[in-house]
């Protein structure tokens, strides 16, 4: 029988249970124990952010960002429509209004040239999404933001271990958010982190994450009791999650290299199909060091994309598409608005197919995917 090739295979390093046993043995299971500290210090050293704080998801880190930026009802947040719902939802929870801007045809990232036209007196922040772990044009975006007094949040959910001009994604804007969801590169099932780059936000970030209290300062002996300081919630993961994540961080370089090997293999194997005009492969600009989060192809039309997806599915290959652009989703229409045309977003999202990819995906399996894809394209 033909073996099914899943879309994703969560990569395990082998040490996860060992570290979980250690956390169990330590008897320290709540948040901010030794494993959480180790993970946070790893991110601080690796990304040079001011402060890294583990959260229970990237969604939670984005919600913290909205609280830190004091988003009030009616405040506008400029962002792409071609993204996961959490990018917008975190700000809508505070009454913010997402203002959707079209993406670039090459990277599928927010088009930095269209941001200025979306700015109004109500604009507060720009939220960029580094799609597929390939960086947005951060120099231009930071310059526009500074000129207009706007904050920048990087939704770097897909960008762990990626760089822009040798700087870690998530460490360039005022705040950055990572995801360790099972489908990402470095995982803990559910999990995330907030990178605080602007030092002025560090103290409030700790308070917001600890139910609005100064408990972190209390634990460091900086105050003699902890009290309710401001609006917050519980955004910290327990030690079991942090222990799992630590096993992954130790192998983050190897995981990234493994994914890059499979990414490069697809890229070479699909070059002839691109040359024949059957599909378009991902484009990675010069300044971007990417982490092989995703391998996708763009077909000529939605009809062709759907035919290719159905062919792959019939051959037991777990290929998927995404995203339904937020501006066209029911909640996106209710809570947000568009700035300018969404032509590229609408076109790309209807023509995209993501191929199976994980660290250790065998060449045999990749060859099967490319073979079915080639036949489905009928060129």
Ligand X SMILES: *Cc1c(COP(=O)(O)O)cnc(C)c1O
Q: Judged by CB, which is closer to ligand X: 57, or 262?
A: 57
Q: Judged by CB, which is closer to ligand X: 215, or 327?
A: 327
Please identify, among the stretches 137-145, 150-158, 235-243, 296-304, the one whose residues bind ligand X according to the rule CB under 6 A. Answer: 150-158
Q: Does 181 interact with ligand X (rule: CB under 6 A)?
A: yes
Q: How far is the CB of 177 from ligand X (least distance, A)?
A: 7
Q: Does 87 interact with ligand X (rule: CB under 6 A)?
A: yes
Which residue in the set 32, 102, 137, 155 belongs to the binding site for ligand X (CB under 6 A)? 155
Q: Does 158 interact with ligand X (rule: CB under 6 A)?
A: yes
Q: Judged by CB, which is closer to ligand X: 178, or 265?
A: 178
Rg (CA), the chain: 21
Q: How far is the CB of 240 from ligand X (least distance, A)?
A: 17
Binding residues for ligand X, total number by CB under 6 A: 14
Q: Does 235 interact with ligand X (rule: CB under 6 A)?
A: no
> Which uninterrupted H or E stretch holds 163?
strand 163-164
- Tell me the two tokens of residue 331: 């909640």
Please identify, among the stretches 82-90, 107-115, 166-174, 249-257, the one whose residues bind ligand X according to the rule CB under 6 A. Answer: 82-90
Helices (H), the chain: 16-26, 34-47, 58-68, 85-92, 115-118, 138-148, 202-209, 215-219, 239-250, 252-269, 271-275, 302-314, 330-335, 343-349, 363-377
Q: Does 75 interact with ligand X (rule: CB under 6 A)?
A: no
Q: Does 83 interact with ligand X (rule: CB under 6 A)?
A: yes
DSSP state of 309: H
Q: Judged by CB, which is closer to ligand X: 181, or 327?
A: 181
Which residue in the set 13, 36, 40, 57 belongs to the binding site for ligand X (CB under 6 A)? 57
Q: Judged by CB, which is closer to ligand X: 158, or 366?
A: 158
Q: Give the span between the Cα atoms of 204 and 214, in whole angstroms.
A: 9
Q: Give the span between the Cα atoms of 45 and 79, in whole angstroms.
A: 29
Q: Does 59 interact with ligand X (rule: CB under 6 A)?
A: yes
- Tell me the two tokens of residue 42: 């790893």
8 Å CB contact between 99 and 336: yes
8 Å CB contact between 157 and 127: no
Edge-first strand order for the sheet with 163-164 is 167-168, 163-164, 288-289
> Which residues of this chain interact with ligand X, rule CB under 6 A?
57-59, 83-84, 86-87, 129, 155, 157-158, 179, 181, 192
């Amino acid at each position: 029988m033909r073996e099914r090739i899943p879309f994703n295979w969560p990569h395990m390093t082998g040490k996860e249970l060992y570290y979980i046993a250690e956390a169990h043995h330590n008897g320290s299971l709540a948040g901010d124990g030794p494993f959480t500290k180790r993970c946070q210090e790893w991110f601080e050293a690796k990304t040079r952010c001011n402060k890294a704080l583990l959260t229970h998801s990237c969604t939670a880190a984005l919600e913290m960002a909205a609280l830190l930026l004091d988003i009030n009802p009616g405040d506008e947040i400029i962002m792409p429509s071609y993204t996961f719902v959490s990018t917008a939802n975190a700000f809508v929870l505070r009454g913010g209004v997402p203002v959707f801007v079209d993406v670039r045809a090459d990277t599928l990232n927010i088009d930095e040239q269209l941001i200025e036209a979306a700015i109004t007196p109500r604009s507060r922040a720009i939220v960029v999404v580094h799609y597929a772990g390939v960086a947005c044009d951060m120099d231009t975006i930071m310059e526009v933001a500074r000129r207009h007094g706007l904050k920048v949040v990087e939704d770097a959910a897909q960008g762990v271990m990626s760089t822009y001009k040798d700087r870690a994604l998530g460490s360039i804007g005022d705040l950055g958010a990572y995801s360790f969801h099972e489908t990402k590169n470095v995982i803990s099932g559910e999990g995330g982190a907030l990178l605080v780059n602007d030092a002025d936000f560090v103290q409030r970030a700790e308070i917001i994450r600890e139910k609005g209290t100064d408990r972190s300062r209390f634990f460091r002996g900086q105050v003699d009791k902890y009290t309710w300081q401001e609006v917050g919630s519980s955004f910290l993961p327990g030690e079991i999650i942090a222990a799992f994540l630590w096993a992954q961080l130790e192998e983050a370089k190897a995981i990234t290299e493994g994914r890059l090997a499979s990414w490069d293999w697809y890229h070479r194997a699909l070059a002839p199909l691109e040359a024949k005009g059957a599909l378009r492969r991902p484009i990675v600009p010069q300044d971007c060091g990417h982490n092989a989060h995703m391998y996708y192809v763009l077909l000529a039309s939605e009809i062709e994309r759907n035919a290719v997806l159905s062919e792959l599915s019939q051959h037991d290959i777990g290929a998927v598409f995404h995203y339904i652009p937020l501006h066209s989703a029911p909640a996106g229409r209710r809570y947000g608005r568009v700035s300018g045309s969404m032509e590229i977003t609408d076109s790309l999202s209807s023509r995209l197919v993501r191929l199976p990819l994980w660290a250790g995906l065998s060449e045999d399996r990749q060859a099967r995917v490319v073979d079915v894809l080639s036949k489905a394209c009928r060129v």
